[in-house]
Amino acid sequence: MSLPALVEPAAELTIDEVRRYSRHLIIPDVGMTGQKRLKNAKVLVIGAGGLGSPALLYLAAAGVGTLGIAEFDEVDESNLQRQIIHGQSDIGRPKAESARDSILEANPYVEVVVHNERLDNDNVLSVFEGYDLIVDGTDNFATRYMVNDAAYFLKIPYVWGSIYRFDGQASVFWPSSGDEAPCYRCLYPEPPPPGMVPSCAEGGVLGVLCASIGSIQVNEAIKVLSGIGDPAVGKLVIYDALELEWRKLKVRKDPSCALCGENPTVTGLIDYEAFCGAISDEAADAAAGSTISVVQLEHMLKERAEGTRDFVLVDVREPNEFEINRIPGSVLIPKGDFLNGSALEQLPGVDSGTQVVMHCKSGVRSAETLAVVKGAGYDDAVHVGGGVVAWVNQVDPSQPTY
């Protein structure tokens, strides 16, 4: 179903702009009017990361007149495998500023607005206000639900995308465009249980997948802004890069949706961190009072080397992560082996007096695993807060991070 154009056309294109956008202008569906609409459009991209990088570059090149960048992070070397808006010389710079420079290099006629701050309940509505459309390139559920709700309250359409390893998804959420148009909560009423869905930082992502999904998001943004084609409102696009397969599913509006349904219970911004939970209740209970710092661990390892202390240090990450970096003296037993029970026979007996110390990349998986180990009777087991990331940052900077 086609929808009316979201944005009114700008008064005119300059001669330079006509030259620049000529390959758009000669497409009958876009034409001069469509290009003028893009010129008048104000689009906010959340995140200048995997999805935001290609999205910002293509929105800029397409001639979207005003581009906002909401991003608080800095460029890290591990970003460059996919975040093509940043380069080697940008490492350590704020991503928002690095992205702005690349955009102006791609198209100096774009007005760039930098929001170098973390979006939260206090600022999200004021940042969103004034934009015609939002492209969501966030990588965590708490922000995703916040973006959905804020966009709904302000009646701003947004194009959502998500990526993990070889799998991508995208859709357009625009409940105010029609009675049948769903929101993100209609599709995913509840976030996944904490610890069940790893982030790209934990599980990895194929770099080029960002371009596949990011370009779909721009494709849909252009269609909504200029009123051409059939935007993916009420449709979920699913991409499997390994099978090279695109699928499109219908997403229905949920009459019982907590946000856009008939009797909404979410009538204002909520506590999204609590709603999504960084870790499960079981993991939080297990970790309470049983979390040590990497500095404490370093001290314990010294005592173990001197023979005054006995414990086993278990790394619950995956083998390919263990190859990148590790805490010396750790043994690898992936989290999955704890969940299926096979790991317990690899541990010293409960009555052996040997303490079990667990760690992962950041402390989430090890907290989940700690709950399993404690449940098996290892009452004095602990896990390492911040995991190997904290170890490299605070104890052993000679190792790479990922």
CA distance 195 to 372: 13
Least gap, CB of 257 to Zn ion (angstroms):
3
Considering beta carbons, is residue 222 or 260 the nearer one to Zn ion? Answer: 260
Considering beta carbons, is residue 145 or 164 the nearer one to Zn ion? Answer: 145
CA distance 154 to 158: 11
The phi, psi pair for 309, rounded to 5°, reads -150, 145
Q: How far is CA 262 from CA 256, 259, 324, in A?
A: 6, 9, 50
Pick out residues in 166-185 that bind Zn ion (CB under 5 A): 183, 185
Considering beta carbons, is residue 134 or 343 the nearer one to Zn ion? Answer: 134
Pick out residues in 2-41 that bind Zn ion (CB under 5 A): none
What residues contact 352, with CB distance under 8 A and at least 6 apart? none
Count of other CB atoms within 10 angstroms of residue 8 = 12
What residues contact 149, with CB distance under 8 A and at least 6 apart? 185, 259, 266, 269, 270
Binding segment toward Zn ion, per CB under 5 A, in 33-41, 256-264, 266-274, 319-327? 256-264
Q: Which two tokens stand for residue 361?
A: 């990349």
Query: Is residue 257 a contact point for Zn ion (CB under 5 A)?
Result: yes
CB 316 within 8 A of CB 369: yes
Considering beta carbons, is residue 218 or 259 the nearer one to Zn ion? Answer: 259
Q: Which two tokens stand for residue 92?
A: 């350590």
CA distance 141 to 288: 24
Q: Which residue's beta carbon is nearest to the bound Zn ion? A: 257
Considering beta carbons, is residue 39 or 185 the nearer one to Zn ion? Answer: 185
Least gap, CB of 258 to Zn ion (angstroms):
7
CA distance 220 to 232: 7
Pick out residues in 184-203 that bind Zn ion (CB under 5 A): 185-186
Least gap, CB of 182 to Zn ion (angstroms):
5
Examine the residue annotation and report whether 186 is marked as an active-site residue of this protein. Answer: no
Considering beta carbons, is residue 188 or 322 the nearer one to Zn ion? Answer: 188
**Half-sphere exposure (CA, 13 Å, Cβ side) for 206?**
13
Q: Which of 200, 210, 257, 276 is catalytic?
A: 200
Bridge partners for 136 per DSSP: 46, 160
Considering beta carbons, is residue 173 or 311 the nearer one to Zn ion? Answer: 173
Query: Is residue 144 a contact point for Zn ion (CB under 5 A)?
Result: no
For residue 63, the one-letter residue type is: G
What is the bridge-based pairing of β-strands 311-315 and 355-359?
parallel
CA-based nearest residue to 335, from 274, 279, 397: 279
Binding segment toward Zn ion, per CB under 5 A, in 132-140, 260-268, 310-318, 388-396? 260-268
Query: Is residue 260 a contact point for Zn ion (CB under 5 A)?
Result: yes
Examine the residue annotation and report whether 360 is marked as an active-site residue of this protein. Answer: yes
Least gap, CB of 180 to Zn ion (angstroms):
11
The size of the interface with Zn ion (CB under 5 A), counted in residues, is: 6
Binding segment toward Zn ion, per CB under 5 A, in 96-104, 204-212, 252-260, 326-334? 252-260
- What is the pattern of x (binds Zn ion, CB under 5 A) and - over residues 41-80? ----------------------------------------
CA distance 112 to 43: 10
Q: Which of 186, 257, 276, 360 is catalytic?
A: 360
For residue 338, the one-letter residue type is: F
Least gap, CB of 234 to Zn ion (angstroms):
11
What positions carry a catalytic annotation?
Answer: 200, 360
Q: Which residues bind Zn ion (CB under 5 A)?
A: 183, 185-186, 257, 259-260
